[in-house]
Amino acid sequence: MTERISKTVVIWHSCMKSTGRPYKLRIGGSEMTPGQAALVELIRRYLNGLLDPSVTLLEIHKLMYFMQEACEPLRLDYKKAPYGPYAKNLRHVLNHIEGHLIFGYADGEDAPNKQIELVPRAIEDATAFLEQHADTRARFDKVAELVAGFESPFGLELLSTVHWVMKNQSIDSVDDVVSHTYAWNDRKRQFTPRQIRLAVDILSQKGWIVV
């Protein structure tokens, strides 16, 4: 039986352009931006749920995808890619903060299973930064709440793929979401229809889509 979506899917994306000057914190000879602070804090909270010292590059791409979708002005150019939404220009950000805020990205290669760790001092600096930057903190909290329970490469790929499909495809039913997800590539068939429906429900319940 086809589960219908009651109304046209609307992606909740009411980003307002900030008119204020971005706040920056100088760290070790460079400046921390709101996006960098959010990246550090997202990784920290994410890893706290896993009790793991490192996060994969795939997971970082998905966390920052949702941070941008939460209206943080990151200027990341996300495209449809084999592992879900992917921003090639995120590598420039990671190269810039390698050794200052993170380590493990040294060679600049984008292998999805590459392990990235936080520089210990980065957590303290990012936390202090976000305490002074309420808008970024609110977006960070929204993303952290969304991904709770999806803390794995599999979970974040599922959630971001379903969000991308619902944002960029014409969708009339949950079955349409399943079909478009499977049409992405063969890799997406690792997600069961039940898991895809769960992702739709979570995105809807937490205000990332309105159906």
Residue 3: the pLDDT is 57
The Cα–Cα gap between 91 and 109 comes to 8
The arithmetic mean of pLDDT across residues 165-184, rounded, is 95
Bigger pLDDT: 34 vs 62: 62
Report pLDDT digits (tens) over 71-129: 999 999 999 999 999 999 998 889 888 988 898 887 657 889 999 999 888 888 888 88
Residue of 89, 58, 86 lying closest to 75 (CA atoms):
89
Report pLDDT digits (tens) over 14-29: 464 443 333 333 344 4
What pTM value is reported for the model?
Answer: 0.85
Q: pLDDT band at 8, cuts 50/70/90?
A: very low
Bigger pLDDT: 182 vs 1: 182
Bigger pLDDT: 116 vs 8: 116
Residue of 199, 92, 79 lying closest to 150 (CA atoms):
199
